[in-house]
Structure 1
Amino acid sequence: MDSEADEITSLVGREVYSNNGVFVGEVEDVRLDLDAEVVNGLALSELNAQLFADTETGKKGVIIPYRWVRAVGDVVLINDVIERYESPDEDTELAV
């Protein structure tokens, strides 16, 4: 379990980009579902001001669903957040 915890905490501080190369923000924290023992969201701060300019995002940033994550490496790649953000579905959570 310690190696899994190390992997989770290593996400903090990584930059997040859409698969189209648009900077979205920086991972500030990880949202966990302790009962299911899975990551279910990433809390982002240092947001792209242009992307979220017309939105009340909360005091610190946004939470994106972990299911949007496509790849994790030196940066985190997510599905194109701009398209999803402009027409969010019912189970999409963006505000902190």
Structure 2
Amino acid sequence: MDPDSVPQEITTLVGREVYSNNGVFVGEVEDLRLDLDRQDVTGLALHQLNRELFSGEVDASRGVIIPYRWVQAVGDVVIVNSIVERLTGPADEDEEEVAA
């Protein structure tokens, strides 16, 4: 069986560092947001944030939740779209889940 097709426990994401696809540190996964009806991960709750990315936008003690659709790869670290580097706050209702 292909090891990539073996289901992993979602708890294995907790504690992993998150980087943009440009190599910029974003934060560390603290928890996950789940949609229990769809049995799907919808977001990653991050803490230990990169203060340069989130200064003035988010209270550092609270963290953020980024949409799981931004995740490009999961391995030893989590890689997300570089859009997180341009994050200035929720632009519309679709982005509502970004600021926690």
Q: The TM-score by the shorter chain falls in which range?
A: 0.7 to 0.9
Paired amino acid for 1:19: N
Cα deviation for residue 8 of structure 1 reads: 0.4
TM normalised by structure 2 equals 0.82
SS at match of 2:58: coil
Q: Equivalent residue for 1:94?
A: 98
1:74 equivalent in alignment to 2:76: yes
Sequence identity of aligned pairs in percent?
62
Superposed CA RMSD in Å reads: 1.8
Q: Are the aligned partners of 2:90 and 2:99 in contact in 1 as well (CA < 8 Å)?
A: no
Paired amino acid for 1:66: Y
CA deviations 1:39-93 (Å, max 9, x no partner) are 000000000011111213474200000000000000000000112x137541112
Structure 1 outlier segments of 4+, above 6 Å: none
Matched residue count: 92
TM normalised by structure 1 equals 0.86
Q: Please tell me whether Structure 1 or Structure 2 has the larger radius of gyration of its CA atoms.
A: 2
Unaligned runs of 5+ in 2: 1-5
Query: Which among 19, 22, 26 is matched to residue 20 of structure 1?
Result: 22
